[in-house]
C-alpha cells in the first residue's frame, strides 16, 4: 500500500473521528453532569440536519443553514428538557431509556409529518467544494479538511469553557456533587437546561455539517447515536477529553479496519471470500476495541471509578 494512500486514510480516520466527537461531546456532557441517558440525542442531530437543509433550500446560504441547525437543535433541546427530561433526573436509567426512546419515535414521525418521507437536499457550499492538493500530491476534499478544522476548534472551545469559565466551574461542580452546588445557591435547574441545550446544539451542528456530504433523511440519527455511545464508553463517561480521544480512536480503527482487514485476509484466502470476511470483521472492529478498553480499564480511558 503506497504511503500517500496511508496518509489519506489517516486524514479520513481523523475526519470521521472529529465528526463523531461533535455528537459524542454533547452526549457525554449530558450524561456526566446530569446522569441522564439520552437516547434522543440522535434525533437532535437529525433536527439540526433538517433545519439546515430547509434553510439552505430557502435562502441558499450555508452559514445561515449552520446557524439554523444550532438554533433549532438548541431550541428542541430546551423544549425537551423542560417538558420531559426534567422529570427524569431522579428516576433510574431504565425509565430514562424508555422516555427518551419514545422521544425518538415522536421526533422521527414528527419530522416525516413536516418534511415527508423522501430525503432532503443539502449540498456543500460552492466555496468549499472540490478537492485541494496537499503537500506530497495528495488530493483531499476541502470540505472534509474544514470539518476537521471546525471540530478541533470546537473541542478547544469546549476545553476552555469547562476549564476556564464560571459556567465551566459550575458544570464541573454539578458533576462532582449536585446537592452541594444547589445548597450553595446555584440554580441547578437552569444549569441543567443550559447544559442540555449546549449538548443539543453540538449534535445539531454535527448533523448539519455531516448532512451536507451524506443524506438528510428520517432515521439518520440512530446509527450515529450508537457510535456516540461506543465513543463515550471508550473515553470514559462524562469526560470531554475522553470523548475526543475515544472519537479519534474509533474513527481511525473503523477506517483502517475497513481497508486493512480485507487485505490481511487476502494474503491467505481467495479474494472474494477475503473481501466478504474482511468486511464482516471490519464492521465489528470498533466493538472489539471497546471490549479491549473495558477489559483493561472498566471505567473507560478517562473515566472516574
Partner 1 sequence: MKLKSIALAAAMAAIGFGAQAEGLKVGMITTLSGGGAGLGIDVRDGFMLAMKQAGRDDIEVVIEDDQRKPDVAVQLADKMIQSEKVDVLTGIIWSNLAMAVVPAATAQGKFYLSPNAGPSALAGKRCHPNYFNVAWQNDNLHEAAGAYAKEAGYKNSFILAPNYPAGKDALTGYKRTYGGGLAGEVYTKLGQTDYAAEIAQIRASGADSVFFFLPGGMGIAFLKQYADSGVDLPVVGPAFSFDQGILQAVGEAAMGVINTSQWNKDIDNAANKAFVDSFQAEYGRLPSLYASQGFDTANLLISASAKADVADQDAFRAALKAAEFDSVRGDFKFGPNNHPIQNIYVREVIKEGEVYTNKIIGTALTDHADAYAAECKM
- Interaction site with partner 1 (CB under 8 A): 2, 4-5, 8-9, 12-13, 15-16, 19, 108-109, 112, 117-121, 123-124, 129-131, 139, 141, 143-144, 210, 212-220, 223, 255, 258-259, 262, 271-272, 275-276, 279-280, 282-283
Spatial distance between the Cα atoms of 59 and 292, rounded to a whole number of angstroms: 48
* Residue 73 CB-half CA count within 13 A: 34
Dihedral sign of CA atoms 173, 245, 278, 295 in order: negative
Q: At what angle do helices 285-296 and 240-266 cross, to 10 degrees?
A: 130
Q: Which is nearer to partner 1, 126 or 296 (CB)?
A: 126
B/e letters for 157-192, b = 16+ CB within 10 Å, e = fewer, are: ebeeebeeeeeeebbebbbeebeebeeeebebeebb
Q: Which is nearer to partner 1, 7 or 301 (CB)?
A: 7
Q: Which is nearer to partner 1, 181 or 261 (CB)?
A: 261
Contacts of 32 (CB under 8 A, 6+ apart): 175, 237, 238, 239
Min CB(22)–partner 1 separation in Å: 14
Min CB(239)–partner 1 separation in Å: 25
Q: Which is nearer to partner 1, 17 or 303 (CB)?
A: 17
Contacts of 177 (CB under 8 A, 6+ apart): none
Check: CB of residue 17 under 8 Å from CB of residue 245.
Answer: no
* Residue 150 CB-half CA count within 13 A: 18
Q: Which is nearer to partner 1, 143 or 192 (CB)?
A: 143
Min CB(215)–partner 1 separation in Å: 4
For the record, the C-alpha cell of 144 comes out as 472534509
Min CB(264)–partner 1 separation in Å: 14
In 10 A of CB 2, how many CB atoms? 7
Check: CB of residue 291 under 8 Å from CB of residue 234.
Answer: no
Query: CA triplet 22, 48, 300: central angle to 5 degrees?
Result: 25
Min CB(146)–partner 1 separation in Å: 12
Q: Which is nearer to partner 1, 82 or 142 (CB)?
A: 142
Q: Which is nearer to partner 1, 64 or 213 (CB)?
A: 213
Min CB(217)–partner 1 separation in Å: 5
Expressed in angstroms, the distance from the first to the final Cα of the chain is 42
Min CB(272)–partner 1 separation in Å: 7
Min CB(291)–partner 1 separation in Å: 18
Q: Which is nearer to partner 1, 116 or 157 (CB)?
A: 116
What are the φ/ψ torsions at residue 141 (nearest 5 degrees)? -60, 130
Amino acid at each position: 500500500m503506497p504511503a500517500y494512500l496511508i496518509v489519506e486514510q489517516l486524514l479520513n480516520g481523523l475526519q470521521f473521528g472529529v465528526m463523531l466527537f461533535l455528537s459524542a461531546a454533547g452526549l457525554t456532557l449530558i450524561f456526566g453532569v446530569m446522569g441522564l441517558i439520552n437516547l434522543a440525542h440522535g434525533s437532535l442531530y437529525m433536527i439540526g440536519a433538517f433545519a439546515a437543509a430547509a434553510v439552505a433550500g430557502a435562502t441558499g446560504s450555508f452559514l445561515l443553514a449552520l446557524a439554523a441547525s444550532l438554533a433549532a437543535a438548541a431550541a428542541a433541546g430546551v423544549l425537551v428538557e423542560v417538558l420531559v427530561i426534567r422529570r427524569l433526573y431522579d428516576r433510574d436509567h431504565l425509565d430514562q431509556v424508555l422516555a427518551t426512546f419514545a422521544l425518538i419515535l415522536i421526533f422521527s414521525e414528527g419530522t416525516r409529518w413536516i418534511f415527508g418521507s423522501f430525503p432532503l437536499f443539502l449540498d456543500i457550499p460552492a466555496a468549499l467544494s472540490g478537492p485541494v492538493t496537499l503537500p506530497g500530491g495528495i488530493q483531499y476534499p476541502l470540505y472534509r479538511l474544514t470539518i476537521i478544522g471546525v471540530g478541533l476548534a470546537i473541542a478547544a472551545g469546549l476545553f476552555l469553557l469547562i476549564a476556564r469559565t464560571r459556567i465551566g466551574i459550575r458544570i464541573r461542580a454539578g458533576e462532582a456533587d449536585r446537592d452541594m452546588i444547589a445548597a450553595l445557591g446555584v440554580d441547578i435547574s437552569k444549569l441543567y437546561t443550559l447544559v442540555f441545550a449546549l449538548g443539543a446544539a453540538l449534535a445539531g451542528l454535527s448533523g448539519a455539517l455531516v448532512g451536507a456530504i451524506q443524506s438528510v433523511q428520517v432515521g439518520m440519527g440512530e446509527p450515529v447515536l450508537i457510535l456516540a455511545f461506543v465513543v463515550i464508553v471508550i473515553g470514559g463517561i462524562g469526560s470531554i477529553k475522553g470523548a475526543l480521544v475515544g472519537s479519534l480512536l474509533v474513527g481511525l480503527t473503523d477506517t483502517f479496519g475497513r481497508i486493512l482487514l480485507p487485505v490481511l485476509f487476502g494474503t491467505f484466502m481467495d479474494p472474494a471470500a477475503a473481501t466478504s470476511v474482511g468486511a464482516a470483521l471490519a464492521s465489528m472492529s470498533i466493538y472489539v476495541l471497546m471490549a479491549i478498553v473495558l477489559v483493561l480499564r472498566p471505567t473507560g480511558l478517562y473515566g472516574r471509578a
